[in-house]
Structures are given as C-alpha cells and as structure tokens.
Structure 1
Amino acid sequence: MPESSPLPDHAAWAALCDTMKAAGDRILAPDFPGSPEERAEGFRHLAQQAVCWLAWGVGHLDPADPRFMRQNDLLTRWGGPNVDNVYKHARIDAEGTYRIRGLMHSCEEFLLAVRIGNMHQERYGTLHEVTATDLGIAPGDSFEILLGGPEPADPAVRWVPLPEGARMVAVREYYYDWQEHEPAVLTIERVDRPTVPQRLTPGRIAEQLEEARSQFERSITYWNDYQRAARTRGEDNTFIQPRTEPKGLKGLVYGFCFYRLAPGEALVVECEAPVARYWSYQLYQLGWFEPVESIHRTGGLNHRQTAVDADGLVRVVVAHEDPGVANWLDTEGRSEGMLTFRCAWADNRPEPKAQVVAFADLETRLAPGAAGGPTTPEERRAHLAARAAHAAWRFRT
C-alpha cells in the first residue's frame, strides 16, 4: 500500500498509536508529577485511559443503537470522579427519541445530564439536568424515562427534553451508605425509528478511532492543566472557596484545597455542616486527577460517613497516619495532593477552612469528641471491610 495514500482506517489507527506513544513522553515533562511512584501511576493512567476511550469511541459511538458505558469505575478514572458515584454515559442524537428503563436497587439518587460533550473536549457543556428525586424515583423503584421527542400529553410520563446540540446523556448514580447490596441497572434504546446496524466501513471505523484518539489525547493534558490552574487560584493548605463549575452542573458546587504536608504534619478542616442532600470530602492525586485509594483506605468520606461535632461543625483530619478519629482522610503518604469539598442540592454554602498542625498536637488541637470522636483500630478495620464489600457489588462485572 503506497504511503502517500493510506486507507482511512489504517491512517486513523496509525494516528492513534502515534498519539499513545507521544503521551508516554509527554507525561515525563516537568509540568507532570515526577517521583518514581507518581510516574508509575502515570503510565498506569495512560493504559487505563486507552481502555476507556477505545471502548467509548469504538464501542459507543452510534446514537442509533446506544448502550450505557460505565466510566470512572476502578479502571477508567479521569477528571476527578466522585468515589460515591457510578458514572454511565450513552451517545444520543438530539433529533431522536429514547427510552431509559431502570431498577434503582440500592442507588439512593441519580443525576441525569444531557450534554454536548465532556469537559476536556473542545465542545462541552450541560444542556439539561434532572435528579431521581425530581422525577419521583426512590431507592428500590423501577422506572421508565422518555428522553427526547415531543412532550407527552400525559403528565404521568417521566419526560426529559433533548435540547439542540445534545450528543450524550450522562447518569451519575449516588451511593451514600456503601451498603452490600445490588447497585442500579439502566438500559437505553432508541424508539423513534427501527435500528438496523449496518456493516462497518473503513470511513466509519476511522471516525471511531479518531474519537478515541482525540478523547485520549485531550484528557491526558486537560486535567493536569486544570489542576495546575486551580492551584494558582489560591495558596497551598488553604481552600479555594466553593463554586459551580462553568458550563457544569448547576446543582453541584466544589471547593478545592491543595495540601502540602511534611512528615509529622496534618491538615485540620473545619466548616459549618451543610444543609444538603449530599456533601463529601475526597482526596485526589496530582497530575492524573484520580482519587486516592478509597476502598481499602479512607480517601473520601460523604455526609453519611462523616460525623458532625456537637457544636454543629464538621471537622476532618487529613494525615499520613491514623490519628484515631472517625473523620480521617488517608493521604497514602503523599506529601502533596488535592482535597475536594463537594456539596449538592444545598440550602446553604459552607466555606471550609483549613489549618496545618503538628500531628503530635492533634489531641490538644481537637476538643474531646471532635472530628467524629475516637476510633479504635478494630473499628477502622470494620469500616474498611464494609467499604470493600460494597465496592465489590457496585463495580461487579
């Protein structure tokens, strides 16, 4: 085959391979984390991003025959995912009509968003959002949602519009208690016209491979740049106060704190208890914007898992070793990282404050019973065992 006129499928495959190879060099640049352990995590991140975007681009590009793809699970993490969520994405056509059917099982809430694309794409944004609560759907319910098409005359039909420009539907399932029970099940199908899959053509697979290549390339650099830019908005060990992300979900606010802790130091966070359906504190790696270990360690705690002190304040301790309090976020020994405060569907907007203290002084810094009170090693092991048992259900294949 002459090199001057490659077939589109071969050219797209070559471009994808070149991009993945270049990414391995790109993450060695000084703007990415550079310790041996962080570099190892970076190459794992590249491999898992390749899995994620090949599956999305090649396997889920057809809006005529959509399927939900689970992303940001234990293998396809990107963009600072919430460890209390399961994320499911499906491709749609704004001119189409779709039916989503599901069983909530132990899922306690979901947020359905009609979107243009992901944040790391050139075109992105949320066009419409609605929660399970808004739709009258509760844990344990079965449900059906009509997505797109004309608004039904029957008000009992759960209907979600598809605004012009919509290209995907994203569902975030929320699990507050991390119970050892069945997670939600969702299906999607197009109902306005018959689906007859056609045989694959060179041009179509080239389009799919280019989608995978583009998402992979942009995700690797975008989220590193996003974290670096966010860090410049404030000082280390100080919260950048909560805000709604531009073009993001209206019901969610985020506050960031980039911590830098030496051995023997801890970060104590205090804030008014949110009046909200959901809130949490979670730790993230730098560069790859993945959560730190949150199943076998306590890298994240939500409103059901975090104790509120008797004075109405929430106190959380970020530390390299166990301080013996319930509200401990385990850094995995990372001297630097990102702490995110999330608050969703809230009646107030607390502003967390953070202070570095000597680990040895925590007992005197925290009043008796603060930060959720004392926790024994046995209680910590039981808590982690319960998290692992839930995760086995949530992320089962």
Structure 2
Amino acid sequence: MRMGLGKISGKRQYQFVEKFNYIREAGTEGEKRASDEILKYLREIGLIAVTEEFEFSAYEITEARLKVTQPYEKEYRVTGYKRCGNTPENGIEAPFLYIENGDEISLSYAKGKIVMVNGLVKKEIYQKLVSHGAVGFITMSGTPIDEGEDLEPADPSLRGVKESPVQGVNLHYKDAVELVERGASRVSLKLQQKQVTRSSRNIIARIKGLDKEEEILTLSAHYDSVPQGPGAYDNMSGAAIIMELARYFAENPSRRTLEFIWFGAEEAGLCGSQAYVKAHESELPRHRFNMNVDLAGQLIGGTVIGVTAEAPVCQMLAYMMHEAGMGVSFKNDVWGSDSNTFAWRGIPAMTLNRDGFGMHTRYDTIELISPCSLKRSADILLYIAESLAEAKVFPFRREVPEDMKNRLEIYFEE
C-alpha cells in the first residue's frame, strides 16, 4: 500500500491559511470571497470543483439593552441572545436576582425575576429558567483582566430549544461584578431581533476511484468563521489540511472515490453539511465514511479523533495510529461538528480535532498556527484516508449505533 506522508507540506498549508486572514461569517461577502479563493486554488492543483448554493436562516439583533433602575440607574453594554425571541416592544422590568450556577435552591427564588447566571446559557439551564418562572436572564463573558476591545461582551446564540418564552442578554464579566457589588435590585431588559435568510455555498471536488468507484469516502472541513475573528484555528487550518490531501490524491488516485468538501455556514448550525446530505440524498447509500477536520494547526495541544460509529471502527483507527507510530486520543461519541450530519444519516464518521486557544475570539489568528502542527494532522488524516481508500475490502460496516442515532435525531430536530 502506498503511503504519501513524505509528500505532505506543512509550509504549503500554512501559506494557504495566510490567504484567509479575514472574517468569513456565513452568508457574508467575506465567506463568498473565501469560497472563490478555494475554487481558484483547486483549479491550480488541477481539480474540477463544483459549488452548491443553499439558503439558511440567520438572526440579526436590532436592539439589546440592559438598565439597572434600582437602587441606582445605569445602562450597560450588552449583546442579545440570538434565536431567543423578542421581549415586548417596551422591554420588561423586574426584580434582579443573581443565581450563580443556577442551583435548585437559587432557582426556587427565580419566579418573576430577571436572573443573572455565571457563564453563557445553554439548553439545559434555559429550560430550568423557564420552568422556574424567570422572566428574563443575564449572562456574562470575559475575564477580570480584560481591557480595551476585550470588554465587548461575547455574541451568544441559544440553540436546541423549540420555544423561547424568556429572553436574555450578555454583558462583560466586569459589569456583572459591578451589578452585584452595587446591589442592583431591579433591572429593565429589552431584546429585539429579526429572522433573515442568507445564502452560502459548499465547494466539492471529486476524484473517481480506480476500481471501486461506487464506494465514496468524504474528507471535509468548514471554511466559514464566527464574526468575532478570522478563524485560522477554527477552521481554516482544517480547510488547509483537506486541500493538502486533495492535492496528494489528485496526483495519486485511489481505489475508492474520494470527495473533498469545504462546507459553508457550519458556525450557523451545521447548515452546509445538512444542505449537502439533502442535495446528495440519492447517492448516500454509496457513502462509507466521513473524515472531517474541525480545529487544527496549533503547536501546543492534544490531537483527538471523535468517532461517531460502532466501537470496532474506533478500535480499528486506533490500531492504524499505533501502526503508524502517531500519538492520538480517541473518543467514541457524538461530536459537535459536520461529522454529526453524516452519522445522522447512517454514515460512520469522525472528526479530527486539535486542542488549542482562542476559538470564537479575535485571537484566533494565523499567529497561533504552526506549519509543523498542520503537517502532523495532515499526516494522520492521510494515513487513515489512504488505508481505507486502498483496502481490498472495506474494513467496517456502514452502521451507526442506535443510541447515537437517537441522540442525533434529537440534536437535529432542535
């Protein structure tokens, strides 16, 4: 079996990431500019690519306000929770209560109050706030040592709930401290937002298999970023790794068909991969495995492969890494990336992930990316991809365990 590890270039991947040092929020000109650049690069390495456009729903905050009305008056800078509905046009005013981590005793006092919670609110705590009768919520982000532009609160989104009767805003940690220190007892909160439709696109390059063309393996990464930063780590480094492997397999076709996909609008809720499986519904039975990359390129950290498939698949990939002498940790679980979408449709999937710093912040820049780390992750993925693409008989079943399927059904229903 061929092994092309010596042909992988970390420097070339780094130079690719450098081209995208700008924000690529889904549905914006930045994302479109990036897709055009990826298409140009694919033409340069001799691959014919297609684009598949799709629409997705997004939310724009039109007004988010928080004001303490008793025992002092002060308005604070806040961001609103997207996907969290609207308050009445004039907002709401109610007693204020700090409930820390939202323990049951603190929650028992939440009825009729606007409550403040440590960290950001996700589905579980949100449902508790609703069930305990809170009429609004405040969260906090940032650290006590932030200065300057880092005092801007994070831009949160509420996911996983079908109904959102309670609205919330987010403020910086330092302002949260002030609310508590000054004894805020009553606050007013206003949140207004609108749902809009945006367009994005997936970029797809297919290399037909030499003698097992009917079996398809996909290698994927998303190329959009959050609005807070240029997303070199999350996830243009992943996009670079997929491009490096596309270059290699363009020169060295394998037995099985390989499809390389750069997804748009992942940060908006895995929208690109969901659009892909919908558009390719008829050929999904031919898909055997998805190899996704999300978070890559930083030198210090651990490499993890999250496998959403039967346990023997995880064990088999672990053996491959042992055989190659490459240290990797494995998790046999549902993973929070585009690999979820393939597993949801019954296709075994994995995500290659590298620990790192600055995800979803302005610090996620090329300065934290290492050519050496890019090469190592690309070598890992190439070893797996080439082993599977060249196998005489595909080594594992096209099955996803029922418990994982059930969890994914809930995930995508919401």
What TM-score do the two structures reach when normalised by structure 2?
A: 0.30
What TM-score do the two structures reach when normalised by structure 1?
A: 0.31
Larger relative contact order (CA 8 Å, sep ≥ 6) = 2
Larger fraction in helix: 2
